[in-house]
Structure 1
Amino acid sequence: MMGISLQRSWIILSGCAVLMLPILIFTEPLLVSIGQDPMISAVAGTISLWYIPVMFANVFSFTLQMYLQAQSKNMVIAYLAFVTLGLHVFLSWLFTVRLHLGLAGVMTSMVIAMWIPVFGQLIFVFFGGCPLTWTGFSFTALTDLVPILKLSLSSGVMLCLELWYSTRLVLLTGYMKNAEVALDALSICLNINVGR
């Protein structure tokens, strides 16, 4: 049954990710239309386009992590995270310092680093790591989607309320004079606050 729930989660979350695509694709014009600084809007638009594969990686990553944690397979997640961290640091250095790719290099490194654990977890699950709960793909996953959808919506509302707080701060900071410096300062403050 856990394998069926995992597949249902993939269906619901993939659908939500597809619904969010227009926002990510049109981030720059949306920000400019509400009066944000065009230079900051352009960078945000570029980053949001790079975030599309990251968003789909999160669909699989978070659900697979919960699936594996429910079965006490935490070491698989830890090993993959350790390997990914090393590769991410190396790729970030390679793409930014050695190849001078700038933002494109940083985002490429991030996309690769987000998908490595997903592929590792999928291989583990599909090839016998969870024989009692994963029996393969099933059409049963396409039934009874409403309870999963309700749970996903309520969880999504909670996350949105949490994230909108910091997003509102960023938007308000974008209206200040010398917005780039103000956003840099806000970013530092938010990162210090999250690190506590």
Structure 2
Amino acid sequence: MAPAAVAVAGGRKNWSAECKNLWRVAGPVILTEIFQFGLGFVTAAFVGHIGKVELAAVSIVNGVVEGLAFGLLLGMGSALETLCGQAVGAGQTHMLGVYMQRSWIICSAAISAVSGTYARWCVPQLLAYAVNFPIQKFYQAQSRVWVMTAISGAVLGVHALLNWVVVTKLGRGLVGAALVGNVSWWLLNAAQLVPVVGGWFPEAWTGFSRKAFASLGGFVRLSVASAVMLCLEMWYYTAVLILVGCLKNPEIQVGAISICMNYQLWTLMVAVGFNAAVSVRVSNELGANHPKAAKFSVVVATTTSAVIGLVFTAVALAARKQMPRLFTGDDAVVNETTKLGYLLAATIFLNSIQPVLSGVAIGAGWQSLVAFVNIIGCYYLVGLPLGAVFGFKLKLNATGIWAGMVIGNSATDYHSVCNTCEDQMAERGYASRGEDTDLGRKHRLAFHSRESRRNEVKGKGCFVCWTYMREKIKKTTLNLFKY
């Protein structure tokens, strides 16, 4: 059941009610992310006791899967956050099952393009990703996330037990670890599907339908835009690692960067929870034709996530000399990591805000704008070139490359994302509550005509224009927190 819209009385916004709505989704999503991240972590931990070569092999494969297939399929599944969330807000929950089936069709086809790149034993896990992500969005759109949280926690326990039996006791090595990983992911999918097809959601799931094959063109466009947005964000850090690997003494530089990224990953899980929560809230409110409430959700979510980010930032600053010791005893790596402490703290704070506003774009259906204006323009045309100059030309090494990454993050155009929710989305005239129509066709909730998209980008000017980004950055804080 979708959270109730936050009431506005006398110009006062009900912060406590909105925070409750957000945490209702964010809390379980954070736990779910930790549990599902733990599947790969547990596998690596057990394989690491076999030998260094086996651990390196698993780490490389997991890195490729996460950086390529994981990002691609998660992005394509994220199209459901736009469509399902707005369907719930518009009172058309019967479309949720159709949208989930439609996403299964698209995601499964995408696997064939990447499966040949990986070892054969990875393919079942990739197929499991294609099924898992749409199911997650199905639950999130209805704020029923505790179901998948409980299931993920239980599967993590089973996964650890199976690894202990198969890898440690039976000595099946890498093949056994791969088999356990495949079994665990498909067990997760089966357990999540049982409530769906078992009648727990009679309004949202009415059985398999031919409608899943209708309007696939528009769904593909939205799915690709989502995939591009999330993949570009994930690959940005891969590009940073490639640059660092080209420095002198790469083992020290890469070691320091890897330690910082590990800490950053754990703090990102909180922001990912708010990413999902604000996406659900924005899409629900836009589907119910409440753009003011949608923008208020953005303010509350961003403020809450930023406060938590400040806490993590303070911890990173206070423990910048001690944290590296948990990973390595090499003094050179420890010293290099300590130098990165201040930049790591800045990155943690920025990343407490940016994923939340990416969730806004997903909820509003503006993934393509964020992908091509913000991420490509700010990350790849600002952050990486500056990092290369600082790291190589000015000989600041890993510190310089990370500094460029921080500048790229800072240049992200939050302002346009916030304005999208209220001003431009209100002009689009989203569906009213109670109309029994296909949202994807009649109301075009999630994607617009090519001509509209060209006019939107054209009106803002060329996305690589530094003047445009600079002017928008100046207005970010005031416009974001003007409430």
Per the shorter chain, which TM-score range? Answer: 0.7 to 0.9
CA distance in 1, matches of 2:158, 2:260: 28
1:178/1:194 CA distance change after superposition, 3 Å? same
Offset at residue 136 of structure 1 (A): 0.9
CA distance in 1, matches of 2:100, 2:190: 15
Q: In the alignment, what sits opposite 1:20? A: 114
Q: In the alignment, what sits opposite 1:86? A: 157
SS of the residue 2:177 aligns to: helix
SS of the residue 1:134 aligns to: coil
Q: Percent identity?
A: 36
Cα distance per residue 1:74-114 (max 9 Å; x no partner): 23212211210110111122222212222223222221221
Q: In the alignment, what sits opposite 2:128? A: 57
Cα distance per residue 1:121-178 (max 9 Å; x no partner): 2121112121111111111111101121111111111122122233335556777899
Q: Is residue 2:190 matched to residue 1:96? A: no
User: Which moved further from structure 2: 173-182 or 125-134?
Assistant: 173-182
| Richer in helix (by share) | 1
Q: In the alignment, what sits opposite 1:4? A: 98
User: Which moved further from structure 2: 75-84 or 179-188?
Assistant: 179-188
User: Which moved further from structure 2: 154-163 or 104-113?
Assistant: 104-113
CA distance in 1, matches of 2:231, 2:177: 26
Cα distance per residue 1:30-72 (max 9 Å; x no partner): xxxxxxxxxxxxxxxxxx4332111111111111111022223
Aligned residues: 173
Q: Is residue 2:150 matched to residue 1:73? A: no
SS of the residue 1:60 aligns to: helix
Instruction: For 1:139-158, list aligned pairs within 5 A.
Output: 139-158=210-229
Q: Among 261, 266, 279, which residue is 1:195 paired with?
A: 266
Offset at residue 180 of structure 1 (A): 8.8
CA distance in 1, matches of 2:247, 2:166: 33
CA distance in 1, matches of 2:161, 2:241: 30
CA distance in 2, matches of 1:93, 1:178: 37
Offset at residue 185 of structure 1 (A): 7.0
User: Which moved further from structure 2: 170-179 or 96-105?
Assistant: 170-179
1:104/1:171 CA distance change after superposition, 3 Å? farther
Q: In the alignment, what sits opposite 1:132? A: 203
1:172/1:97 CA distance change after superposition, 3 Å? farther
1:144/1:155 CA distance change after superposition, 3 Å? same
Q: Return the structure number with greater relative CO, CA threshold 8 A, min gap 6.
A: 1
Q: In the alignment, what sits opposite 1:40? A: none
Offset at residue 118 of structure 1 (A): 0.5
SS of the residue 2:148 aligns to: helix
Structure 2: runs of 5 or more not aligned: 1-94, 268-483
Name the Cα RMSD after superposition.
2.6
